[in-house]
C-alpha cells in the first residue's frame, strides 16, 4: 500500500505540471489586459514600465518558467523560513542606492548587511508570486482565504455523507416503500436544481421572508462563547445546505443501487443462513462492499463541489478562494488565477489518490503491492 501511494504521488507531479501548462496557455489566449484597471490619467510611459515590472513583455515560456520557480521553489522556502526562522528565500545583492545611516545600522544588527570586497551587500527576499491586482504575495492571500473554503466544503461533504448513507441503506432495504419513493423524488430534485438557483432561492425564503438566517457570511466573525457559536452556526447553514444538496442526492442514489446489488449476492444468503442478525448482515457485510462504489462517487464529485463552492461563495459573500478566483478573473490577474486553479487541481488529484487507497482498505480482493 505504501509503495503504491508513493508511486501515485510521484506520477501526479507530471500530471499537475501538465494541468498548470494548459491553464497558463488558456489564460494567455484569453482576452483582456491587466493594465485596463489602471486609471486613464497614468501616462503611457508609466504604464509601459508597469508592464515590464509585471513581466508582461516576456515570452510566454519565460513567464511560465518564472511562475514555476516562484511557486515550487521560492514559496516552499518562504514557508520553511516562517516555520523555522531560517533565511533560505533570501539572497545577497548590491543595492543601487544605499539607505540612510540609521537604516544601515539596523540592517547590520539584524545580519542583513555585509561588506564584501569593498562593496556593501544587503540581503533581500527572493521575488514571490505577486498578484497583479493587489501587488501583494499571492500565497499570503490564498492562505487567508483557503480555510473558509475548506471549512464550508468540508462541512458540506460531512453533512452529505452523514445524511446520504443512512438514506441509501434504508431505501435499499425497504425497496419500493413510501420512504424509498419519497427519497427518490427528493434526490431527483437535488440532481436537477443547480447551486446558482438554490442559493438565491434559500436567501429569498429563509433570509428575506422568514428572517431566520443571515444572507451574507461574515468571515471576520470570531467564536468565543455560546452566543457567537450560534451566530456562526446560523450563517453556515445555508451555504453548507446548498453545497450538500447535490452531493447528498448523488451519494444516496449510488448507495441505494450498490446496496441493492449486494443484497442479492450469495454471501448475504450465507450470512443469513448462519443465523447472523440482520443488523450485522447489513452494516458489516453488505455496507462494506457497497461502500466501494460510493468511494468512487465521492472522489468524482470533488470537482463538482469545488465548482459549486465558487458559485456559493459569490452568492453568500463567503470570503474564500472561490470568490477570490472570480475577482481575479475579472481583473485579469494571471498569477492569482494560475495559483488558485492549480490549488483546485491539486486538491482534486489528491482526493482521487485517497479514493484509490481506500479501495484497498474496503475491498480485500484489491492488492497494490
C-alpha Rg value of the chain to the nearest Å: 27
Cell triple for 83? 516555520
Backbone dihedral angles phi then psi of residue 97, each to the nearest 5 degrees = -145, 130
pLDDT at 362: 66
Average pLDDT score over residue span 301-312: 74
CA distance 28 to 34: 12
Quick one: which of 244, 242, 235, 239 has its CA closest to 212?
235
Within 10 A of 174 (CB to CB), how many other CB atoms are there?
12
With bands split at pLDDT 50, 70 and 90, how would you rate the model's confidence at 105? low
Mean pLDDT of the chain: 78
Within 10 A of 293 (CB to CB), how many other CB atoms are there?
17
Q: Report the DSSP beta bridge partners of residue 93.
A: 122
Average pLDDT score over residue span 102-127: 68
Residues with Cβ within 8 Å of 318's Cβ and at least 6 positions away in sequence, in order, are 148, 149, 152, 217, 219, 239, 312
Cell triple for 91? 539572497
**pLDDT tens, residue by residue, 25-36:** 887 777 766 666
The H or E element that residue 337 is part of is helix 334-362
Q: Is 307 left (phi over 0), alpha (psi -120 to 50) or beta?
A: alpha
Is the CB of residue 249 less than 8 Å from the CB of residue 162? no
Say if residue 327's pLDDT is above 80.
Answer: yes
Which 3 state secondary structure label does DSSP give 319?
A: coil
Average pLDDT score over residue span 8-24: 83
Higher local confidence (pLDDT), 266 or 95: 266
With bands split at pLDDT 50, 70 and 90, how would you rate the model's confidence at 59? confident
pLDDT at 100: 60
CA distances from 76 to 72, 253, 310, 321 (A): 6, 42, 26, 20
Cα 196 from chain centre: 19
**pLDDT tens, residue by residue, 168-216:** 888 888 888 888 888 888 888 877 787 778 888 888 888 888 888 888 8
Say if residue 328's pLDDT is above 80.
Answer: yes
Which 3 state secondary structure label does DSSP give 99?
A: coil
Higher local confidence (pLDDT), 244 or 111: 244
The H or E element that residue 211 is part of is none
**pLDDT tens, residue by residue, 285-302:** 788 778 777 777 777 777
**pLDDT tens, residue by residue, 206-246:** 888 888 888 887 777 777 888 888 888 888 888 888 888 87
Provide the percentage of residues in the chain whose pLDDT is more than 90.
Answer: 0
Cell triple for 326? 472570480
Within 10 A of 1 (CB to CB), how many other CB atoms are there?
12
CA distance 78 to 248: 40
Cα 219 from chain centre: 17
With bands split at pLDDT 50, 70 and 90, how would you rate the model's confidence at 104? low
Strand 113-116 to 119-125 pairing: antiparallel
The H or E element that residue 137 is part of is none
Within 10 A of 360 (CB to CB), how many other CB atoms are there?
16
Cell triple for 365? 480482493
Provide the percentage of residues in the chain whose pLDDT is more than 70.
Answer: 83
CA distance 335 to 314: 21
pLDDT at 45: 74
Domains recognised in the chain with CATH numbers: 32-82 (no CATH), 92-128 (no CATH), 138-362 (1.10.3720.10)
Is the CB of residue 149 less than 8 Å from the CB of residue 313? yes
Q: Report the DSSP beta bridge partners of residue 113.
A: 122
Amino acid at each position: 500500500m505504501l509503495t503504491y501511494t508513493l508511486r501515485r504521488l510521484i506520477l501526479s507531479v507530471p500530471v499537475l505540471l501538465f494541468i498548470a501548462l494548459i491553464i497558463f496557455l488558456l489564460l494567455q489566449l484569453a482576452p483582456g489586459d491587466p493594465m485596463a484597471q489602471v486609471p486613464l490619467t497614468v501616462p503611457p510611459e508609466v504604464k509601459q514600465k508597469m508592464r515590464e515590472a509585471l513581466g508582461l513583455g516576456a515570452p510566454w515560456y519565460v513567464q511560465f518558467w518564472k511562475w514555476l520557480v516562484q511557486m515550487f521553489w521560492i514559496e516552499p522556502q518562504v514557508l520553511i523560513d516562517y516555520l523555522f526562522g531560517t533565511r533560505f528565500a533570501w539572497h545577497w545583492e548590491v543595492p543601487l542606492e544605499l539607505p540612510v545611516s540609521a537604516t544601515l545600522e539596523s540592517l547590520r544588527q539584524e545580519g542583513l548587511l555585509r561588506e564584501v570586497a569593498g562593496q556593501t551587500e544587503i540581503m533581500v527576499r527572493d521575488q514571490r508570486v505577486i498578484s497583479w491586482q493587489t501587488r501583494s504575495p499571492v500565497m499570503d492571500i490564498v492562505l487567508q482565504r483557503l480555510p473558509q473554503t475548506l471549512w464550508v466544503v468540508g462541512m458540506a461533504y460531512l453533512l452529505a455523507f452523514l445524511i446520504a448513507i443512512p438514506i441509501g441503506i434504508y431505501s435499499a432495504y425497504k425497496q419500493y416503500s413510501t420512504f424509498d419513493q419519497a427519497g427518490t423524488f427528493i434526490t431527483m430534485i437535488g440532481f436537477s436544481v443547480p447551486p446558482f438557483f438554490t442559493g438565491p432561492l434559500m436567501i429569498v425564503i429563509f433570509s428575506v421572508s422568514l428572517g431566520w438566517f443571515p444572507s451574507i457570511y461574515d468571515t471576520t466573525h470570531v467564536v468565543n462563547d455560546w452566543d457567537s457559536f450560534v451566530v456562526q452556526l446560523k450563517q453556515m447553514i445555508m451555504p453548507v445546505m446548498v453545497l450538500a444538496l447535490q452531493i447528498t442526492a448523488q451519494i444516496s442514489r449510488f448507495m441505494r443501487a450498490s446496496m441493492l446489488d449486494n443484497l442479492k449476492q450469495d454471501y448475504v444468503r450465507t450470512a443469513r443462513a448462519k443465523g447472523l442478525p440482520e443488523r450485522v448482515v447489513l452494516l458489516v457485510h453488505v455496507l462494506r462492499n457497497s461502500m466501494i462504489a460510493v468511494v468512487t462517487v465521492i472522489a468524482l464529485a470533488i470537482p463538482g463541489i469545488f465548482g459549486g463552492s465558487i458559485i456559493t461563495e459569490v452568492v453568500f459573500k463567503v470570503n474564500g478562494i472561490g470568490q477570490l478566483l472570480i475577482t481575479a478573473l475579472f481583473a485579469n490577474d494571471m498569477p492569482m488565477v494560475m495559483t488558485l486553479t492549480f490549488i483546485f487541481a491539486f486538491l482534486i488529484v489528491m482526493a482521487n489518490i485517497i479514493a484509490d487507497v481506500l479501495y484497498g482498505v474496503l475491498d480485500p480482493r484489491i492488492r497494490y503491492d
